[in-house]
Amino acid sequence: MIFRNRPLVRLGAAALLASGAITAFGAPAHAAGTETDLAIDVVGTRVADGAAGKLAFAKVTNKGKNTPSELGVRIDVSKLDFAKVAVVPFAEECDVEPGSQGPALVTCWAEKEALPGPGETIDLPVVLVKLVESLDKAYSAPVKFTIISKDDTNKDNNTKSVDVEFSKESGADLTVLADDVKNAVKVKNGKIEVTGDLHAGDTAQLIYEVVNQGDMPTAGLKVTVKLPKGVTFTETEDECEYAADNRSLVCTYPELPFIPLTQFDGKGDDVPGGEFYHLLSVGADVKAGALKGGTVSVEPILPAKGLTAQSKVIKRLPKNMTPLQKSDLADLDPSDNTDGFAVVVAAKGGGGGGVGGGDDEGGLPVTGAKAGLIGGIGAAVLLAGGAMFLVARRRRVVLVTPGDEKPTA
């Protein structure tokens, strides 16, 4: 499932593919819908010299008032040298059109449950991977992403062309993914539980994940969160400073180092990132619909020269963070340092985008929908051989993990 609804996307896509959990990008979806306005953006397309690869993201946002009946993303990779690098959409099934020396176009479709409602965004993870041990010099090539939907009424924001760059520079490279906020929650026995769709007056939970996809460690982390109008922070945290209107904060964690993700083996106390959350209060007078304009931005606090291994260990874990399981340089690729989110408020008595069922839902555990997806990039990079599925002669392709192969049509 890889063109995935934000409430479904996880940064551990490789592991999820192996478990069969990814289903949002597969057969083309056809749902009841009408004309709307879809826009695309692409972030995270610069790879550090010492990293074998990373996850970039094609982000499709619904800026209209209706849910589309279909949505696909077509990627033009015809300019890439597939003897050196590969750009692979992390989708279970995609259509591939071959070119003269490799693939030319790859098209992935969103499934029905992943189609974005008004104000919502879905992400298509894209693996950027080296197919050689190292590159003698920096390599870049243009790749074009295009939205495909018969319901889209504005073609001006349907295409995004980016240069995919495998640099010869080293540095930390933070990536942040924030979930759209669509569920009400409650705190019960010290645990946060989902209670159903989010309504005016409810408590909600913003969840985001931060991971270092570069080739050098950070020394700490700075996070800036801005909330949509009508939403405020429910609690205060020691490491954070809040604006007077309680709609924005800046959290500084000077002793929260993240090692490079591809160096993470899960055996020590050092981690490449973690999942964070903040509890939110939705105003009682807020009207149903998507409250837009929320953002999460991250900045690395960089280590002084001569960083020791001991200084990579986290000394004090923030209360609102869960660590991932299993210099003088700025962030190498700042394009993926900010992610937007919407707070989707359901009408009273009506269906919304959350987990339905009200307080009788039974206390579902809350975890970030995207938690773990970036954590799987190490496994994704090991799928370099699988990335070559694009060169296969078959037109219909299913991306699977080694040992889990299945026939394609």
Phi, psi for 14 (deg, rounded to 5): -60, -45
C-alpha closest to that of 35 among 109, 122, 118, 157: 118
**pLDDT of the residue at 273:** 87
**Of 323, 303, 307, the residue nearest 374 (C-alpha):** 323
Nearest to 251 by CA among 287, 221, 231: 221
Q: What is the mean pLDDT of each run of 10 residues along the chain (409 residues)?
A: 31 33 49 82 95 90 93 94 86 80 86 88 88 90 96 94 96 91 90 93 94 91 96 93 97 91 77 90 95 95 64 64 53 87 83 41 44 47 38 31 34
Architecture in CATH for domain 4-398: Sandwich (2.60)
Q: How far apart are the first and last CA of the chain?
A: 17
pLDDT value of residue 179: 86
Please tell me the distance from the alpha carbon of residue 126 to that of residue 314, in angstroms, as a whole number: 30
pLDDT in the model for residue 74: 95
Indicate whether this model's pTM tops 0.85. no
Distance (Å, rounded) from C-alpha 164 to C-alpha 33?
Answer: 34
Q: What is the pLDDT of residue 374?
A: 47
Per-residue model confidence (pLDDT) at position 241:
96
pLDDT given at position 25: 55
pLDDT at residue 143, as a whole number: 97
Beta strands in 23-130 (DSSP E): 25-26, 38-43, 46-47, 53-62, 72-76, 85-89, 93-98, 103-110, 121-130
Q: Where are the domains of the chain?
A: 4-398
Consecutive H or E run containing 378: helix 377-381
